[in-house]
Amino acid sequence: MTGRSLSSSPEGIQKAKRALIRYSLTQKALADELEVTRQPVGKFFTGKPVDRNLFVQICDRLDLEWEEIVTQVEVNKDKSIDIDAIVQTVREKIKPGIQERCGTIRVLDMTQPIGLNDIYTSVNILEKITGHKRLGIDELLQQCRSQDFDLFGLNRITEKRLPGLEAVEKYSKLMILGKPGAGKTTFLKYLAIQSIEGKLQGNQVPIFITLKDFAEAANKPGLLEYINANTINHVFEKDNILDRQFIGSIQDVITQGKALVLLDGLDEVREEDNSSVLKKIREFSDCFWENQFVITCRIAAREYTLEKFTEVEVADFDDQQITTFATKWFKSKSVKAEIFIKQIKGNNRIKQLAASPLLLTLLCLAFEESGNFPANRSELYKEGLDALLKKWDAKRGIQRDMIYKQLSIQRKEDLLSKIALTTFEQGDYFFKQKTAEQYIIDYIRNLPAANTEEEELQIDSEEILHSIEHHHGLVVARAKGIYSFSHLTFHEYFTAREFIVKQSSKTSLQSLVNHITEKRWREVFLLAVGMSPKADCLLLLIKQKVDSLLANDEKLQQYLIWVNQKSVSVEVPYKLPAVRAFYFARARVRSRSLCRSLARSYTRSRSFAHVIARALDLARALDLARAIDIDLVRDLSLPLDFNKAQQQLQEQLPKRNSENEILKQWSKTNSQALSEKLRLVKIKDLATTHDWQFSDRQRELLNQYYNANKFLVDCLNSDCYVSREVRQKIEDTLLLPIAEIKQHQQES
């Protein structure tokens, strides 16, 4: 067989003869239709070499896949041709087309394309697929705790990361899997550009094929025929003169194993075309095995296997990649990348989203508009969900198959909300596949026209779970048979949505409020308040729950009465709740004793320990007060960032192993300056305290009460819609004893 010819296999000849009979054709009639002589057609049916183009045309006319007819033997290379010269000629001709198709990217709401090289950030590869790991839930939880429960960063710490270009050089047949928006297409375009510019595989010809377009091409061509036609269209689109020599050159490149075949988006092929496209890829890669192949596909779209391809996974962006991407994005914009990066690092929830290139792009677009993220984080998260649920496919004209026609985007959100609430309430950040499928069954059995047969429901639940992972990447496999939401952020968002959007009754909100003292529910509360069209009911329920924490302890109620009396006894221009917050925290025995203990361990000096204790305790005391009335803390000479101030104070202390004389000298020099920093203008009797001798249980209740009030104020200060009346009512009764609250309610 020559480099430009193909021969029929014995099995292929039999298939072709049966096709002749099926279409009532003779070999002569077939030759006449194809406008060729009888001789090459006769060669086709006797297994002799036939020109490739004609071979494919004969197969197409007989409705046969040429890859199924051709003999699967090693191609005998035509040594009479200078393949290196042909490669360079073809590269030169296709270069403009490759640069046009692959040189830019435009996603989501970008107003114009961006040059690929201007934004591209190096991709890392995991050689072991995340969902294939054999780990238990306990092991996954342990890994998350070591990363501040960063669900999306699991594979950052458990698997070795290989640079993407090294993976391409390492494997000649590579299947790159990844979540939606992981950067698979961008990476494939980058390979094409790097190759055509001679920076990667300069002795090969890059061939970039969008598999969705290939599957939907007219007349269902084979892959070789499509490559020929596709390449010709891009080279000669302005000049319709067909260069037969160029066509032959493309075939020579492929036959001689000099092509870098880049096949993008196997998951985007319609379900009815899946098996056909897969078969064509398999047979093409088997026939022309010396070429290099890279295919991209979504991580969960693996209902098939290409046996000779090595599967790898695109890793999430790490901190360095996020910084690199943002620096490139904001390079020529008025917003500074440093500000964006600082805010990303300061918010772990948003930082988790930034690990996805698609969602990082969304964050950059949002930040670019105002130089900040939206005050209402639920709006930002909703935009991210819309990108994954709707925009990402819609922008590229991709329609996904739905298991249930009734399972619209809205239904999927409802389903995810129910799964989120159930698992979050149980503390199940990870859940087994069978558990998730049962949640789905419980939901879909109530849909209109649902099939209620248990066996059918089980099958449908498996497919729906697969669909949500494959199409949107919102629920993903973390290990074999174990799932979680892709981001803790989205788990919390859908949990809050179930309370606000789907249930929103007072009973439902009360069940949410019962979690007010649990730290892990904090983000759910903030999201729920932000999602509420009007947050009055939820905030009032939170206030009632907070007040009830100390309602049944007479001594603690007396403490609140004392705090209130102390607050009204001073004449200050601040909000009374802020003054109460100051005295509440200032007089707490536990925090003062802890601070003194810390100070003694450094100084062995009770007098100086008292100074340090006052510094550390004051920062704590003002934490809630400043949230209520910022003017109160503006009158301090301490910085507003009290956590930082506390750290600075500790850093100023001499080392514990310093000489005693040095400690004394340092104390003498700095005590007066530190004391001056603690001066609270216009508030009298700062040091007046009372030894309440609370029990451990009472101190714990006071701590919960303080934190819950602080969190309530944070909710009030968030970007939520609450009536002026309710806001004022809550602020006026903060930190008051129950009797005072009841009196206030009667008066109002």
List, for residues 650-668, the tens digit of each pLDDT value. 555 555 444 455 445 545 5
Among 68-77, 248-257, 300-309, 337-346, the range with the most confident prediction by mean pLDDT is 337-346
Give strand pairing partners of 259. 205
Q: What's the order of all strands across the beta sheet hosting 173-178?
A: 161-163, 124-126, 310-314, 173-178, 292-298, 259-264, 205-210
Question: Percent of the chain, pLDDT > 90?
Answer: 35
Residue of 717, 645, 713, 637 lying closest to 675 (CA atoms): 637
Residue 711: per-residue pLDDT? 92
CA distances from 672 to 373, 586, 643, 669, 686 (A): 42, 21, 22, 7, 17
d(CA 524, CA 608): 43
Q: State the alpha helices, DSSP H only, in 473-605.
A: 488-497, 506-513, 522-531, 536-548, 554-568, 576-586, 589-603
The more confidently predicted of residues 194 and 395 is 194
d(CA 601, CA 603): 6
Residue 602: per-residue pLDDT? 35
Kindly indicate the confidence band of residue 135, based on its pLDDT and cuts at 50, 70 and 90: confident
Write the DSSP symbol of residue 70: B
Kindly indicate the confidence band of residue 286, based on its pLDDT and cuts at 50, 70 and 90: confident
Q: What is the pTM of this model?
A: 0.72
d(CA 120, CA 183): 10
Number of H helices, E strands in the chain: 38, 14
| Phi, psi of 141, deg, nearest 5 | -60, -40
d(CA 264, CA 483): 27
Residue 346: per-residue pLDDT? 85
List, for residues 687-700, the tens digit of each pLDDT value. 445 667 889 999 89
| Share of the chain residues as helix, strand and coil, in percent rounded to the nearest 5 | 60, 10, 30
The identity of residue 159, as a single letter, is E
Among 137-151, 514-528, 584-598, the range with the most confident prediction by mean pLDDT is 514-528
Residue 613: per-residue pLDDT? 44
Average pLDDT over residues 267-279: 87
List, for residues 1-41, the tens digit of each pLDDT value. 344 678 898 889 999 999 998 998 999 999 999 888 999 99
Residue 532: per-residue pLDDT? 92
Give strand pairing partners of 262. 208, 294
Kindly indicate the confidence band of residue 631, based on its pLDDT and cuts at 50, 70 and 90: low
List, for residues 572-614, the tens digit of each pLDDT value. 777 888 888 877 876 554 434 433 433 343 343 344 344 444 4
Give strand pairing partners of 178. 298
